[in-house]
Chains A and B, each alone.
Chain A
Amino acid sequence: EDKVVQSPLSLVVHEGDTVTLNCSYEVTNFRSLLWYKQEKKAPTFLFMLTSSGIEKKSGRLSSILDKKELFSILNITATQTGDSAVYLCASIPGGATNKLIFGTGTLLAVQP
């Protein structure tokens, strides 16, 4: 059965800290892994990773994929209170449906 597991389930940090969120996956014929940020409403897209070892960056956020060890990490440096959210990891297995298999998410709280 395809599954995605995220850790930790929740995390509380102070502004300025650096955090690392983890995502491991077991999916059939892996195609890609996606990270989303969810605040109060819809998940918003952050990154899509398909190749091992190639870091994707957007401002203070970065992510990398390890297809050998079947995991990905999301790093956030110099955290701000606006980074407080649930971070969702999802994987697309093989096939023509592009279905996403989601993890349960990591709740990040950044305190001033």
Chain B
Amino acid sequence: NAGVTQTPKFRVLKTGQSMTLLCAQDMNHEYMYWYRQDPGMGLRLIHYSVGEGTTAKGEVPDGYNVSRLKKQNFLLGLESAAPSQTSVYFCASSYYHQGAETQYFGPGTRLLVL
């Protein structure tokens, strides 16, 4: 099993450009999450999905959109990148069963917006 994978690993964008981050998991997890991690702020939830075709807002959703067309994939889109979106983005996935809901994280995508 590859676990949770993310592409790309690193990206530089200019303000106003758009891009999509891809997360894939091969563990048949129902739930998937996108976080951003900034110095001194910990991990903050952007959006999440509890199943194929469903998404919901997390703590810091503004400026991002997501889609979950297939169970194994969760896409995070930036429509018009801003310097405040410079961050490290982590995807995670988990089962929904209580007691088995440990989240497993991907390796992260480092995004720099100039």
Contact = CB atoms under 8 A, between A and B. Distances in A.
B107 A97 contact: no
B48 A99 contact: yes
A104 interface: yes
Interface residues of A, number: 23
A92 B90 contact: no
Interface string B78-106: 00000000000010101010110111111
Contact of A32 (B90, B96, B101): B101
B43 A102 contact: yes
A99 B61 CA distance: 14
Q: Which of A36, A48, A98 has the most CB of B within 10 A?
A: A98
A48 B102 contact: yes
A42 B45 contact: no
Given A42-B106, A42-B108, A48-B102, A99 B94 contact: no
B45 A99 contact: yes
A97 B59 CA distance: 13
Interface string B32-60: 01000000111111001010000010100
A70 interface: no
Contact of A104 (B42, B45, B105, B106): B42
Q: Which of A41, A42, A88, A96 has the most CB of B within 10 A?
A: A42
Interface of A: 31-32, 34, 36, 41-45, 48, 50, 88, 90, 92, 96-100, 102-105
3 closest A-B pairs by CB: A42-B105, A104-B42, A98-B101
